[in-house]
Structure 1
């Protein structure tokens, strides 16, 4: 076996989204050798051979399959896993961690709080770390977590699942229900395109979350609802409050209005606290400004191939030299993972100067204009 400095990594579920991301992460960022097994196209190694050839084994299987997959690997290992580190990457922790603890490996459950990113690290994202049995692998695990650049939070498996009933289960449930209501009622008011001109910031944010859920693998959201034992009690509370609101609205008098304010607004505001309420309100306003920028029809998106100090300054100087005023600038990633700068352009700027700036970005080798909306197509 390898030392704890340069362990060999095994991925169970190597063809899934996180399996593919982890392979790139370990190989490119940590310089480690990675092998995998997956029924969908990665079967060069048998399960037993995979166990025998690695030092760290990571389970990236679908949520509802993960505990049974782990138990199967424990049977296949039959003690060969002694001295290894076993990890899992799932949204539910109690079942997978308990299954891994039936092995003789050291055990840690992980839950990155996002889908597999298009970026090289988990910077800006939380990751829950559930240490269950950890000794000799502690130093390497800390190096791995540091390399991910995730904001790590420690919890036991049961605490994690209780929290996820609120952070994931409740959020997903409300947005899936919103999607169903829109499907049923939007046709009576002109469908989604008819609603869009009337959008508020709150509606835009909710619709973005709903569409994100609908765009993703439905099995993930199914499993988060069905595999976490703490979700059903949460849904009962959520349904009770919705039913109560419905009954108060039907009642419709001043008593009902006062009761709604007290139970759903005043008491919750007191629980959250004035400072947190103020901070949340300000964050909402900032998101509103961001949405307004993103809805501006005149903008260009630019990819900067050279990620080094001065690249952005060179890009902005192109506009400055031609007197083109910029309304906003935001960075994001394309569907392919490229870092793009979305630059909102003043509607009053000179069209010829703007076209000249777009051309200069290319011929000066500063970057590549990916999109130019509300203006002439770049030459």
Structure 2
């Protein structure tokens, strides 16, 4: 089976290429940067081209791994060249608009929205999660086959609608990234960050790890997510209001109300998460894992 990865010279595209090669698939990738394509061709021994149509015409499966802002233009370009027997899957982090674009421009072949919930730093797909977003019976049948394929390799696959995915990701990705970026901006406004890290406890170390891991990512991708995820601005306004509420309690030194609000949150977490009581121990296990030295070779 030959798989074409449109946008295969990007970080996630290269990850997918390596994974598929291990699976024994033949891979052709496309990209706009000829230097990156030549490097990928040299390192991985694959076919690489700047011509999306050439790749589409010579593949059974097409994976689209391009920035959300370029997505519809790419789909519009390749749409006339797809065939009924082909499978076309997008792996963008947003689903409603890409899936709608595929339905609009791709008239031959079966399309499916997919979102790998991990980045190119993952070693493989074992214990990783994917969301699949079929919109009709044909796509659902394909999604079930993809789900089985992923699960036999140790991954988790969840099916939901494109809109449900995007509303969920607005919190799971959008809000968590926003908190990390604003926290990084705040931490870096102090001139003693290194000193703080030396004397810090587990909570601070995890916060710094979170902020650093987000800031190392692609700024264009994160800006695109922040501006394209639906209802995210509304969620972030709610977050800002809650920050103001808690900051007011600190400023007014209202210890009883602060403690009471924390107790209310604890009760709510206990109801929604049966394992909530182990969170403190889990935090120490996580930091121990992060601080574990790499194995000697």
Instruction: Give the TM interval when normalised to the shorter protein.
Output: 0.7 to 0.9
Of the three residues 61, 66, 81, the one matched with 2:66 is: 61
For the pair 1:221 / 2:234, whether they are aligned, the reply is no
Q: Separation in 2 of the partners of 1:288 and 1:243? A: 29
Pairwise CA distance, 1:87: 0.5
Q: Distance in 1 between matches of 2:144 and 2:206?
A: 41
Task: Note the 1:254-293 alignment, pairs <5 A.
Answer: 257-263=255-261, 265-273=262-270, 276=273, 279-289=275-285, 291-292=287-288
Q: Deviations over 1:102-141 (max 9, x none)?
A: 212212111111102442x211111111113435746753
* Whole-angstrom CA distance in 1 between matches of 2:99 and 2:271: 38
1:130 aligns with 2:117: no
Equivalenced residue count is 281
Separation of aligned partners in 1, 2:17 and 2:272? 43
Give secondary structure in 1 for the equivalent of 2:4. Answer: strand
Judging by fraction of residues, say which structure has more helix: 2
Task: Give the superposition deviation at 1:275.
Answer: 7.7
- Structure 1 alignment gaps of length 5 or more: 1-6, 303-367, 369-379
Separation in 1, partners of 2:193, 2:125: 34
* Cα separation, 1, equivalents of 2:290 and 2:228: 37
State the structure with more CA Rg: 1
- Residue aligning to 2:15: 21
TM-score, normalised to structure 1, is 0.67
Q: Which residue of 2 aligns with 1:345?
A: none
Listed one character per residue, the Cα deviations across residues 75-123 of structure 1 (whole Å, up to 9, x for unaligned) are x43xx4333211011111111111111212212111111102442x211
Q: By how many angstroms is 1:292 displaced?
A: 4.8
In the other structure, the counterpart of 2:40 is none
Change in CA separation of 1:38 and 1:285 when aligned onto 2, cut-off 3 Å = same
C-alpha distance in 1 between matches for 2:265 and 2:162: 28
Partner residue of 1:141?
A: 146
- The answer for unaligned runs of 5 or more in structure 2 is 38-47
Cα distance in 2, alignment partners of residues 242 and 275 from structure 1: 22
